[in-house]
A = this chain, B = another copy of it.
């Protein structure tokens, strides 16, 4: 069977699980992409939009708007980039850091359910292979 279809279905199921839980934890109403952006930023902050854009494979214009949105909700802030006056560096606010933790919990729970058919060795192998790609 087509690998691409499998990956798509996996992602769909993951989204579906998170979606039903969203009303409980997504108080800021930032949506799935907002959540992924925060998680990504958490790993590399402080970082420019350009960095996040390349990392996530998403358009910088899209990210610019989404970050403005997150900034309005006090989840991230733009600080000066001394190395380049054209850009800012993005950083999570304390509220953002806190929110990231709850997003991670929900995501980990959903991933855990989804990977239930695999034993521990297989899960580790899956992660290893994905990281290698």
Main SS at interface, chain A: helix
Task: Kindly list chain B residues whose C-beta atoms are within 8 Å of the C-beta of A133.
Answer: 10, 114-115, 117-118
Take A43-B1, A115-B133, A129-B125 as given contacts and tell me if A10 and B7 are in contact as well, using a CB distance cutoff of 8 Å.
yes
Q: Cβ of B16 and Cβ of A57 under 8 Å apart? A: yes
State the number of copies, please.
Answer: 2
> Which residues of chain A from 103 to 117 have a CB within 8 Å of any chain B CB?
104, 107, 110-111, 114-115, 117
Q: Cβ of B56 and Cβ of A12 under 8 Å apart? A: yes
Q: Could you mark each residue 1-33 of chain A with 1 if its beta carbon is under 8 Å from any beta carbon of chain B, else 0?
A: 111111111111110100000000000000000
A contact set with B: CB distance below 8 Å: 1-14, 16, 36, 39-40, 43, 55-58, 104, 107, 110-111, 114-115, 117-118, 122, 125-127, 129-133
Known: A3-B111, A7-B130, A118-B129; 7 extra A-B contacts, CB below 8 A, are A4-B36, A5-B40, A7-B10, A13-B57, A125-B125, A125-B129, A126-B129
